[in-house]
Amino acid sequence: MVDVSNTWAMTDGNEAAARIAHRLSDVIAIYPITPSSAMAEASDAWSAVGRTNIWGEVPEVVEMQSEAGAAGALHGAVTKGSLGTTFTASQGLLLMIPNMYKIAGELTPAVIHVAARTVATHALSIFGDHSDVMGVRMTGWAMLCATSVQEAQDFSLVAHASTLRTRVPFLHFFDGFRTSHEINKIRLLSDDDIRALVRESDVLAHRGRGLTPDAPSIRGTAQNPDTYFQAREAANVFYDAVPQVVSEVFDELAGRTGRRYQLAEYHGAPDAERVIVVLGSAWGTTKQAVDALNAGGEKTGVLTLRLYRPFPAGELIDALPRTVRSIAVLDRTKEPGANGEPLFADVMVAVAEHAEHFAAGTPRVIGGRYGLSSKEYTPAMAAGVFAELASASPRSRFTVGITDDVTHLSVTVPDHFDVGDQALGAVFYGLGSDGTVGASKNTVKIIGADENRYAQGYFVYDSRKSGATTISHLRFGDRPIDSAHLITEADFIAVHQFDLVNQMKTVDIAKVGATVLINSPYGTDTWAHLPREVQQIIVDRGLRVHVIDAASVARAAGLGARINTVMQPCFFYLSGVVDREEAIPRIKASVEATYGRRGRSVVEKNFAAIDAAIDALHELETPAVDSELHRMAPMPDSAPDFVKKVTAVMLAGEGDRLPVSAMPVDGVWPSGTTKYEKRGIAAEIPIWDPSICIDCGKCAIVCPHSAIRVKITPAENLDDAPETFQSKIYKDRKLADHRLIVQVSPDDCTGCAVCVDICPATSRTEVKHKSINMEPRMEHVAVERTNFDYFLGIPEIPRDHVRHDQVKGVAALQPLFEFSSACSGCGETPYLRTLTQLFGDRLLMANATGCSSIYSGNLPTTPYTTNAQGRGPAWSNSLFEDNAEFGLGLRLAWEKQNAQARRLVGELAGHLDPGLVSGLLTADQTAESGITAQRERVEALKQALASLDDSRAVHLLSLADELVDKSVWIVGGDGWAYDIGFGGLDHVLGSGRNVNVLVLDTETYSNTGGQASKATPRGAAAKFAVAGKSSPKKDLGLFAQAYGNVYVAQIAMGANQQQAVRALSEAQAWPGPSIVIAYSTCIAHGIDMATSMSHQADAVATGYWPLYRYRPTEEEGAVPLRMDSKAPSGSVAEFMMAENRYAMLKRANPGRAEELFALAQADADERWRYYSQLASVQRAKPKGN
Amino acid sequence: MADLTTSYLGLDLRAPIIASASPLTGQLDSLLALERAGAGAVVLPSLFQEEVEAEEMAAVDMMEVGDGFAEFDSAPLAGIDMSGMGTQHHLDLVAEATANLSVPVIASVNGSRKGGWVDYAKELVAAGANGIELNLFSVNTDETESSADVEERYLEIISAVRAGIDVPLAVKLSQHITGLSAFALRAQQAGADGLVLFNRFYGAEVDLDAMALTSKLALSTSDELRYPLRWIGILRAQREGLGLAATSGVHSGLDAVKAILVGADVVCTTSEVLHAGPERIGGMIAELDEWLDAHGYPSANEARAAMSAANVPDPGQFERAQYMKVITSR
């Protein structure tokens, strides 16, 4: 939040809401979930620096293991008479439902602030709609809905004040992302405002009701048929009072601030005939449409409810003009099978019960859905709905914002609908890594700081973690800005990365005569490098194009690749958003404010970049359209039809155009589509020098993106290889005359250099030259593309020709996980790829929500793929908290199917070849050759069954493939395994069933931005542990070992690839539960990701991450635990200091760091001592257990 | 008990033994321990411009991790207090040390860019430093820059810093200056109040297992004192009014006596206290005192320069590097 005066601030909805919540709470129990996490993080940060609530107490912010846990802690805190709150969204809110019923049933004041988000159904979505809040409307919580950033602050106060007055708990919600993440200018509430609305007497009364042994009472009784019902009804009067109380609080707020809100608020013609009813940010957008339509002589209006529960039916009706003849109710949620969505149903009932209010009798009420998962809702869409209402026979149920060509529910939206937006709109296209979003946020805050100026910023992301694009939508004007939709006609467009003009639509949304700024390495020659489509738009619309080689300017100023400080002054200079002479001083002042605390050198480098920027800016001549280049290369012919028709459209950024008929009906999408998305994001790629290669395969086994591949093939297979294609003799006695190939995919490599880091082969005459070396992509891309294409066509080596217990053998197996959008250098993905090399053709995966579910399952393209036989990993993500249980379900189902198939084989034995039957039923499938043989038998079985006229044969045919063993893997991060999913994980491990668990342990919640988990080690700084975590890391492996029949391994790919491969194989082979805990380096650690693997090696060498395998056995006298790493050498602290999450703590607070580092060393020493002892303990599991 | 007070760079010190830059002078508790042990002054760890600026840029980079990620509301480590990163860490230490110590606190700086020296020296003075030591160290690999050019560059730095600050200024040099006497004269003219002789460096080392270069600094030995002794003996005779500090190889009070006898105003010790702890300074002072007493010196000042090149019978002994024995044997 930027305080731009005592009373104004530039802030987003989350911070606006949290600021008040923190001032009014004693206990804040939270669990991170997008898009609400920032509220919790801000609260934690404020408490960490000692910011108090209005009563002078620093609120206790506690991170729980799940939202269910947070709700439980909240329930406890408010039961004791404290002031409590929490922040959540989506699945998190659903996990709170049981406690919500309890808190409401006990009439206990509490507030939950929700950044409303889509609930996972056929797919997860992190974006915004009301499906979560509508899913708790029956819990008995009052629901207050904010429509803007300003209201997110104001209603935060109203919620806290009203819950204390009414004793009814309040859920305060606003649109996820659209409001939670929009930066806007708001007027701040003062402490006096807060104190005026939150009455001390209510606080004391609440405390007085708190549970205390000094005046004991009992709650949570069990009631019986005699009294339960009446007791439920006894609370009615409290609910009846809520609307009036909220209304009073609104009035008091208006008295202090001048901002007047009503329970039901109407905007539009006083004699309107058609009205839309909406909740949330659609209010502002619909108002714009109403104003534009009414200016054209129509009679329309819009109504929003600030209070949704208890439903203010009377106020709703009173607010509607008596002239209304038809009403469209828009719900931002979907309730399949219902007679209508919730708001629609509520409004319908209210209207039906108050028909007398309307001059022309009961209006027609129709209900529609809009905006699911942050689907855009624009004034044009509102106009489309009004047009539907005006049509002869409006659809009673409809959708808006999509094209429904199946059930034909979608209303028609006009192509152009001008609302006369006076604000200046600027759109910035950038990459996730180039600071465009940060600079844009900064710009909004600079301009918004001006008196009487207003600014709004909204940011659109894709979900890739490497090579992500960002689009920043900024509005500037002299009046408050309440347009809650993207800019579709821009006055200014900046393309911060030149490649984006080729990859996506950019200038397409420029207004006629708009200004365009392009960061181009081609300077004044840029015109010739622009694709034809872009040239055409520039010429047709008379756009004024300016170019700058920002990368050169940034480099010269010592800023490396940080181009944002070069681009920002150009925007200020060109856009007219400030006077030209003011542009540079304003930016410098902002740089001083932003970076001043980071050191003068940073400020000076930025100043140098700013000073050089304007001089380096050139206006481009825009002659005739003459380019031979075209943007957005089409899909290769080899791509499947679905990919061409659907995926390609999504990749072009035009997924919004896809109609309903293009969509799979059940969320089931084809595998293996990342290969059609050639991103080409690496500046440098690894180039192989076969002359010094030692055939180890390490480069391929550690590659996070499966972009460097190994194949072993008979020499004759390479006879038609391109001249540039490299190979070498493969040194293996069993594979004589075979050649080894190490090949990079130049368009899929992200340039992380992890392969170079691990490569052990160095030149004898020049130690810096390895067998793999990073070289500029542009110099090699053409040749390597040809080579990689040829490489893909070389047959895979038969799976049983290489050893599966050796790195070099596994590296040569086909990876069935490729080109994911994980971060460059990701420490998790090498494990997953290895898993697919070992068991990919029979792999059934349950993946907990988190980074791994995003880079594995986030559309448009997904990385799990298939082999030449069409087999490959079958992957699904259920939820975050239930992953172990979900995976167990998959296993149980397979076991049942397998048992059924075996039974049917037995029953049909008389009709089948006896050798085939006994082969099928007694197959040893522990080795690859056994799997191959069983597959052959299954094929024979299918053929035999085809001619059998027996219903059992039909069943067996459908189950025959289940006679081949499946490998069930339950995969997730530490947030799942250590925290939210631990109960289920524990239960599944305790089940004795043959499931395998892979924990990708990054020691933090990586996906949601680095919050501490119970896997976070002592001394590490993380969100919710900003001063360094004081408790030690939970030893998950030890918990699992306690069972005695669970295979447990701790691995680190960078330290010992061999041990990692062996552990995964042993886990799979163990017929009971297995868990493999894999150390995974992460960008949240603050390391150079190029050194991911050597860093892991250091972790193991110092005892920070010991390697071991616990192999349960029935053998008397056996010692199941074996340490796979040597006794620690070197200090843990020294290792820790190589990570910024530790090193920064050392800088910030050396005393505490030293203390924690000493404890961390003691943890490591003690762990080693303890494990060393366990490694000599004999333990046998009872036979048959 | 001999009078050990001394004047160095115009600063009045209670004893001629200074704790030189080391990890021990990087933290308040060990700084206080050094003061308790009797150190005459302390020199804080060098602010290396290159290092602190890299750290500052790294801090900015850390703030922007995940800038384009929808689910990152802020960078993972954004919440950490980074106010002590980079330069600030040094400035904070200077302020903390001068606020808590009664002995002079000398801040050390090593610049990498022109202008950096002066700017950082000024900031350190503004933070409270009682004196500045220029850690005038660079490995000069520019093929177009001659030895004379290098010396000119050093002198420019000295005069620029002199012009920018109003506290005593010492210049720490390496042995690798060909014409040290001439350079000392010009350094003094450029405004240096004293020279600190000599800096020790990380050399190159080869790890044969890893086939990689390593750089681990070994602690000094008393033997290394011979080089400072030579040049202090010579310069003391040549340069009046120029402070001279002996550093490298000062491990005992007797080493201090040697340095003082040839003309050092003070000795600086690092390795010995790193090895034996801050309290070792007390032991060294006692040894110095004992020797002075035993040899009838009422003060260290009286012993100072008794054996400088001007005051020994054969000053040529300071200059003979290789063939001393041959000549004397004839």
What are the boundaries of each domain within chain B?
6-329
Which CA distances in Å does A409 have to A15, A129, A279, A394? 38, 19, 21, 11
Torsion sign, CA atoms A935, A941, A947, A949: negative
In degrees and rounded to multiples of 5, residue A485 shows phi and psi of -150, 165
B271: CB partners within 8 A, 6+ apart: B219, B220, B221, B251
* Chain B stretch 92-151, residues whose beta carbon is closer than 8 A to a beta carbon of chain A: 119, 123
Q: What's the mean pLDDT in A300-317?
A: 98
Q: Measure B173 CA to nearest chain A CA, in Å.
A: 26
For residue A638, the model assigns a pLDDT of: 87
User: Which of A598, A1007, A1009 has its CB closest to that of B73?
Assistant: A1009
For residue A847, the model assigns a pLDDT of: 98
For residue A1173, the model assigns a pLDDT of: 97
User: Which of B68, B76, B88 has its CB closest to that of A461?
Assistant: B68
Give the pLDDT band (50/70/90) at residue A622. Answer: confident
Instruction: From chain B, pick out residues whose CB is under 8 angstroms from the CB of A560.
Output: 57
Strands lying side by side in the sheet with A397-400: A264-268, A300-305, A274-278, A326-331, A364-370, A397-400
CATH fold match for the domains A266-400 and A424-619: no
Q: Is the pLDDT of residue A49 over 60?
A: yes
For residue B316, the model assigns a pLDDT of: 87
Q: What's the mean pLDDT in A774-799?
A: 96
Match 């004793």 to its residue by tokens: A167
In degrees and rounded to multiples of 5, residue B127 shows phi and psi of -75, -10
> Distance (Å, rounded) from C-alpha A3 to C-alpha A11?
9
Match 């084989």 to its residue by tokens: A905
What is the pTM for the complete model shown?
0.94
For B53, the closest chain A residue by CA position comes to A601
- Tokens, residue A1013: 């988990």
Q: pLDDT of A382-411, one tens digit each?
A: 999 999 999 999 999 999 999 999 999 999
In degrees and rounded to multiples of 5, residue A923 shows phi and psi of -60, 135
For residue A594, the model assigns a pLDDT of: 80
Write the DSSP assignment of A951-966 as a string of letters: HHHHHHHHHGGGGS--
For residue A1118, the model assigns a pLDDT of: 94
For residue B323, the model assigns a pLDDT of: 59
Q: pLDDT of A651-692, one tens digit each?
A: 988 999 999 999 999 999 999 999 999 888 899 999 999 999
Q: What's the mean pLDDT in A1017-1023?
A: 94
Identify the three-state secondary structure at position A847.
strand
Torsion sign, CA atoms B281, B287, B290, B295: negative
CATH numeric code, A669-812: 3.30.70.20
Identify the three-state secondary structure at position A578.
coil
Instruction: From chain B, pick out residues whose CB is under 8 angstroms from the CB of A497.
Output: none
Which CA distances in Å does A744 have to A727, A756, A772? 13, 12, 10
- Check: CATH 3.40.718.10 for A1002-1174? no
Residue B71 in contact with partner chain A when CB distance is under 8 A: yes
How many angstroms separate the most distant Cα atoms in chain B? 86
Which uninterrupted H or E stretch holds A970? Answer: strand A967-973
Residue A740 DSSP label: E
Beta strands in A168-321 (DSSP E): 170-175, 183-187, 264-268, 274-278, 300-305, 307-309
Instruction: From chain A, pick out residues whose CB is under 8 angstroms from the CB of B90.
Output: none
Q: pLDDT of A7-45, one tens digit each?
A: 899 999 999 999 999 999 999 999 999 999 999 999 999
* Chain A stretch 1122-1181, residues whose beta carbon is closer than 8 A to a beta carbon of chain B: 1140-1141, 1144-1145, 1147-1150
Identify the three-state secondary structure at position A934.
helix
For residue A4, the model assigns a pLDDT of: 57
Q: Measure B159 CA to nearest chain A CA, in Å.
A: 23
**CB environment B229-256: b (16+ within 10 A), e (fewer):** bbbbbbbbbbbeebbbbbbbbbbbbebb
For residue B322, the model assigns a pLDDT of: 63
Query: Are the beta carbons of A599 and B88 separated by less than 8 Å?
Result: yes
CATH match for A2-206+225-257 among 3.40.50.1110, 3.40.630.30, 3.40.50.150, 3.40.50.970: 3.40.50.970
Q: Measure A818 CA to nearest chain B CA, in Å.
A: 21
> Distance (Å, rounded) from C-alpha B161 to C-alpha B164?
5
What percentage of chain A reaches a pLDDT higher than 90?
90
pLDDT mean by block of 10 residues, chain B; 330 residues: 94 96 92 97 94 85 84 85 80 96 96 83 96 90 93 95 96 92 97 94 85 81 92 95 94 96 96 94 97 96 95 87 51
Instruction: From chain A, pick out residues whose CB is under 8 angstroms from the CB of B59.
Output: 598-599, 602, 1144
> Distance (Å, rounded) from C-alpha A62 to C-alpha A32?
11
In degrees and rounded to multiples of 5, residue A698 shows phi and psi of -65, -35
Going from N- to C-terminal start, the domains of chain A cover 2-206+225-257, 266-400, 424-619, 669-812, 1002-1174
Instruction: From chain B, pick out residues whose CB is under 8 angstroms from the CB of A465.
Output: 69
For residue B84, the model assigns a pLDDT of: 72
Which uninterrupted H or E stretch holds B310? Answer: none
Q: Measure B34 CA to nearest chain A CA, in Å.
A: 18
Residue B56 in contact with partner chain A when CB distance is under 8 A: yes
Query: Are the beta carbons of B76 and A44 separated by less than 8 Å?
Result: no
For residue B321, the model assigns a pLDDT of: 64
Match 């429509």 to its residue by tokens: A147
- Tokens, residue A260: 């007047």
How is domain A424-619 classified at the CATH fold level? Pyruvate-ferredoxin Oxidoreductase; domain 3 (3.40.920)
Start-to-end CA distance of chain A, whole Å, equals: 59
Taking alpha carbons only, the member of B88, B109, B101, B100 closest to residue B45 is B109
Query: Are the beta carbons of A37 and B59 separated by less than 8 Å?
Result: no
For residue B73, the model assigns a pLDDT of: 84
The three state secondary structure string of A1077-1137 is EEECCCHHHCCCHHHHHHHHHHHHHCCCCCCEEECCCCCCCCCCEEECCCCCCCCHHHHHC
Q: What is the total residue count of chain A?
A: 1185
Which CA distances in Å does A83 have to A48, A76, A96, A105, A1154? 19, 11, 18, 17, 36
Q: Which candidate in B60, B87, B216 is best for mutational testing of the A interface (most A CBs within 10 A)?
A: B60
Q: pLDDT of A273-302, one tens digit each?
A: 999 999 999 999 999 999 999 999 999 999
Known catalytic residues of A are 34, 67, 117, 1007
Residue A606 in contact with partner chain B when CB distance is under 8 A: no
In degrees and rounded to multiples of 5, residue B286 shows phi and psi of -60, -40
**Amino acid code (one letter) for A93:** L
For A181, the closest chain B residue by CA position comes to B73
Q: Is the pLDDT of residue A2 over 80?
A: no
Give the pLDDT band (50/70/90) at residue A596. Answer: confident
- Tokens, residue B290: 């004992």
> Distance (Å, rounded) from C-alpha B146 to C-alpha A546?
45
For residue B204, the model assigns a pLDDT of: 87
- Tokens, residue B167: 């506290």
Predicted ipTM of the assembly: 0.89
Instruction: From chain B, pick out residues whose CB is under 8 angstroms from the CB of A1026.
Output: 79-81
Contact call for residues A284 and A147 (beta carbons, < 8 A): yes
- Check: CATH 3.20.20.70 for B6-329? yes
Identify the three-state secondary structure at position A1057.
helix
CATH match for A266-400 among 3.40.50.1100, 3.10.129.10, 1.25.40.420, 3.40.50.920: 3.40.50.920
Query: Are the beta carbons of A1010 and B212 separated by less than 8 Å?
Result: no
Q: Which candidate in B25, B56, B77, B119 is best for mutational testing of the A interface (most A CBs within 10 A)?
A: B77
> Distance (Å, rounded) from C-alpha A1141 to C-alpha A613?
34
Q: pLDDT of A463-514, one tens digit each?
A: 788 888 999 999 999 999 989 999 999 999 999 999 999 988 999 999 999 9
Q: Is the pLDDT of residue A255 over 50?
A: yes
Contact call for residues A976 and A1004 (beta carbons, < 8 A): no
A428: CB partners within 8 A, 6+ apart: A436, A439, A440, A470, A471, A472, A474, A493, A494, A496, A567, A571
What percentage of chain A reaches a pLDDT higher than 70?
99
Residue A917 in contact with partner chain B when CB distance is under 8 A: no
In degrees and rounded to multiples of 5, residue A273 shows phi and psi of -105, -30
Query: Are the beta carbons of A1009 and B74 separated by less than 8 Å?
Result: yes
